[in-house]
Amino acid sequence: MDVDEFNGLVSALRGVAGIRLWADAPLAPFTTIATGGKARLLVSVGETVALAKVLAELEAREVEWFCLGAGSNLLVADQGYSGVVIKLDQSFQYVEGLPIERCTHSRSAGGDMGAGPGESSTAPQVILTVGAGAYLARLATVVAEAGLTGMEHACGIPGSVGGAVAMNAGAYGWCMRDVVREVEIVTASECRWLAAEDLEWGYRFCRLPERSVVTAVRIMLRQGDRETCLASQRAYLRQRREKQPRSVRTFGSAFKNPPGQHAGRLVEAAGLKGMRRGGAEISTVHGNFLVNVGDATTADILALMSMMRQAVERTSGVVLEPEVRLVGCRFPWETEQGDE
């Protein structure tokens, strides 16, 4: 966008109720790895009608955009992003349908927010509607406190519910597809619910309609035993704390696990744990985690990812596939291939 196009877009968006605008917004504070430059424009949206209007303006003007969730599994280019970043505000952080007598964290009670331990195949099913902006780990805790089973594995997974659907997030053999029944999406022209079985799901993957934003999800859990659910969560959290870096700036797993193998173990076998580039480090705790230990840049992170990928292919013959999503840049090996 040139200056006139940008000013025209801003002027049009200012006429949309229920949104807030920030020009040249730093994106690093919105990501869990804390790297990256600025967005040309950040749009905070508070309702689905407003979101559809924003998307319509962007589509009509052919402006590039992406929706930012909780900032995990994301790397933003150091030079920033020349398009528009959309962020759902706290209005999308809700849970509806929790048993009120068991828990008071549901929206209707005045608060925001597969099989599992303690679950019986004959236990009553409970359908919850969850805003896409809700934090996945917090949701897992809230439903366990309500005695609902099916999301214990999600207790330590960072990110928003919408982002978790978009990448079919999971852990310990569990994934979002196990509990998702419907997904609400908004495009420039409509807001509709899609049945989970009508979407294509895969390992860390969900194919959603193009140019759409997930705004809510319906999940199915079962009534279980509260103490059993919470005990299971504590056990999973202990495992994560023992095997993954804690209280650090990281976006999560750098690469997907190859079939039957673990990316972290392959990186460790290549002798790369603890290696640094600038302010970035391959975690000494888990080989598939990159950590911002100082003033790391996205370029530092990508350089380490390239080293990891090359070393694993050389030592194990396995070509690692990235799990992290890039905004405003490409992986080094993609650039190299494009130059050939």
Identify any residues that bridge with 81 across adjacent strands, giving them in sequence order: 39
**Among all chains, which residue has been given the structure tokens 């080094």?**
332
Strand pairing category for 125-131 and 95-96 = antiparallel
Please say whether the beta carbons of 210 and 203 come within 8 A: no
Catalytic residue among 61, 102, 107, 204: 204
- Tokens matching residue 8: 């025209």
Nearest Cα to Cα of residue 165 among 107, 127, 219, 115: 219
DSSP string over 119-160: --TTSPEEEEEEETTSBHHHHHHHHHHTTEES-GGGGG--SB
- Tokens matching residue 187: 């495009």
- Tokens matching residue 79: 């030079």
Known catalytic membership, residue 20: no
Known catalytic membership, residue 249: no
Please say whether the beta carbons of 50 and 44 come within 8 A: no
Nearest Cα to Cα of residue 217 among 165, 159, 174: 165
Known catalytic membership, residue 321: no
- Tokens matching residue 229: 């659910």
Contacts of 85 (CB under 8 A, 6+ apart): 25, 27, 39, 41, 42, 43, 65, 66, 67, 68
Catalytic residue among 44, 72, 212, 253: 253
Q: What are phi and psi of 126, to 5 degrees?
A: -130, 125
Neighbouring CB atoms inside 10 A of 208's CB total 16
Q: How far is Cα 98 from Cα 228, in angstroms, rounded to an integer?
A: 18
DSSP string over 167-206: TT-EETTEEGGGTEEEEEEE-SS-EEEEEGGGSEEETTEE
Give the active site residues.
204, 253, 323
